[in-house]
Amino acid sequence: MILRLALGSLLARSLTVGLTVMSIAVSVALFLAVEKVRTGAKASFADTISDTDLIVGARSGSVQLLLYSVFRIGTPTNNVTWESYQDIARQPSVDWIVPISLGDSHHQFRVMGTTTEFFERYKYRGGRTLEFASGARMDDLFDAVIGADVARTLDYDIGQSIVVSHGIASFSDHDDTPFRVSGILEKTGTPVDRTVIVSLEGIEAIHVDWQGGGRRPGAATPESVIREMDLEPAAITAALLGVSSRLQLFGLQRWINTYPEEPLLAVLPGLALQELWQITGIAEIALVGVSAMVIVASILGMMAVTLASLSERRREMAILRAMGARPGTIVGLLLSEAVLTAACGVIAGLALLYSGLAVARPIIDSAFGLWLPISWPSEREFLVMLAVVAGAAVASLVPALRAYRFSLADGMMVKT
Q: Counting runs of H as helices and runs of E as strands, what totals does the chain give?
A: 16, 16
Task: Please give the full DSSP string across 160-189, using - where no structure is assigned.
Answer: -EE-PBSSSS-S-B-TTS-EEEEEEEPP-S
Q: How confident is the model at residue 6 (pLDDT cuts 50, 70, 90)?
A: low
pLDDT in tens, 296-312: 888 888 888 877 776 66
pLDDT at 408 over 50: no
Inter-residue contact 350 to 28 (CB < 8 Å):
yes
The phi, psi pair for 90, rounded to 5°, reads: -80, -5
- pLDDT score of 379: 85
Confidence of residue 407 (pLDDT cuts 50, 70, 90): very low
Q: Residue 181: is its pLDDT beyond 70?
A: yes
The confidence score (pLDDT) of residue 409 equals 47
Q: How far are the Cα atoms of 30, 204, 238, 384, 395 from residue 298, in angstroms, in the given order? A: 12, 61, 51, 14, 11
What are the residue boundaries of the structural domains of the chain, listed by start?
Answer: 2-45+281-412, 54-267
Angle of the 379-395 helix axis to the 397-405 helix axis, nearest 10: 20
pLDDT bin (cut points 50, 70, 90) of residue 203 is very high
**Average pLDDT taken over every residue of the chain:** 85
Question: Which span out of 214-223, 252-261, 399-408 was modeled with the highest average pLDDT?
Answer: 252-261
pLDDT for residue 97 is more than 90: yes
User: Does the pLDDT value for residue 328 go beyond 70?
Assistant: no
Tell how strand 109-114 and strand 195-199 pair up. parallel
Q: What is the structure's pLDDT at 222?
A: 86
pLDDT at 366: 65
* Band (102; pLDDT cuts 50, 70, 90): very high
Q: What is the pLDDT of residue 413?
A: 52
List pLDDT tens digits, range 354-389. Answer: 998 888 877 776 666 666 777 788 888 888 899 999
Rounded to 10°, the helix 281-310/269-279 angle is 50
Q: Is 1's pLDDT higher than 60?
A: no
The structure's pTM equals 0.73
Taking residues 83-97, what's their average pLDDT? 96
- Percent of the chain at pLDDT exceeding 90: 41
Give 149-152 contacts, CB < 8 A, sequence gap 24+. Answer: 149/109, 149/187, 149/193, 149/194, 149/369, 150/106, 150/109, 150/193, 150/194, 150/195, 150/196, 151/184
* pLDDT the model gives residue 411: 47
The most confident of the ranges 138-152, 266-280, 327-341 is: 138-152
**How many Cα atoms are found within 13 Å in the side-chain-facing hemisphere of 326?**
5
Model pLDDT for residues 206-230, shown as the tens digit of each residue: 988 877 666 777 677 888 898 999 9
pLDDT at 282: 77
Average pLDDT over residues 124-133: 90
CB 242, CB 97: distance < 8 Å: yes
E-strand spans in 107-237?
109-114, 123-124, 128-129, 132-135, 143-146, 161-162, 179-185, 195-199, 210-211, 214-215, 235-236
Report the percent of the chain where pLDDT is more than 70.
Answer: 86
pLDDT at 111 over 70: yes
**Confidence (pLDDT) at 255:** 96
**Separation CA 80–CA 353 (nearest Å):** 47
Bridge partners (DSSP) of residue 92 are: none
Q: Kind of pairing, strands 161-162 and 179-185?
A: antiparallel
